[in-house]
Amino acid sequence: MRDVSEQVRDPLGLRAELPDPGAWAATLARAIVEVVTGARQAQQLRRWLLPEIYAALVAVRLSPCARGTNPVHVRTCPIDDRRTEVAVIVATASRTYALALRLEEYRGRWMTTALELA
């Protein structure tokens, strides 16, 4: 019997190289903090989040922060070549946020399938 699981995931054989999950998650975490503090429109992140995560994100409103949102620490924990978990610390002028993300490969790009923000 032939294994067709790879064809089901990538029927055209166009398996793209995924970007570095740490750098990608740091950029996304910064954008998430900017959304919940009102500095960025949530619609810009819709493509990268599962619908239920996007809906939860737009419902969160934290106090506005000054400019200068910076990811200061990133830790990745690969599960396999298509899934990884990432912890990111993001600092603003007034507060520091911790984010935990689960990234899974979806059509040649990362999709956030779980998100915790503290």
Q: How many Å separate Cα 33 from the centre of its chain?
A: 11
Query: Hey, where are the domains in the chain?
Result: 19-117
Q: Look at domain 19-117 and name its CATH class.
A: alpha beta
Quote the pLDDT of residue 50: 96
Least confident of 59-68, 91-100, 108-117: 59-68
Backbone dihedral angles phi then psi of residue 93, each to the nearest 5 degrees? -65, -30
**pLDDT tens, position by position, 57-77:** 999 887 776 577 899 999 999
Q: In Å, how far are 15, 31, 40, 57 from 43, measured between CA atoms?
A: 27, 11, 9, 10
48's tokens? 């990268």
Q: What is the CA radius of gyration of the chain?
A: 16
Using CA atoms, how far apart are residues 3 and 9, in angstroms rounded to an integer? 12
Given a contact cutoff of 8 angstroms between Cβ atoms, the answer to whether 32 and 98 are in contact is no
Q: What is the mean pLDDT of residues 9-22?
A: 72
pLDDT at 1: 43
The verdict on pTM exceeding 0.95 is no
Q: How confident is the model over 84-105, as a mean pLDDT?
A: 96
Q: Provide mean pLDDT across the span 31-53.
A: 94
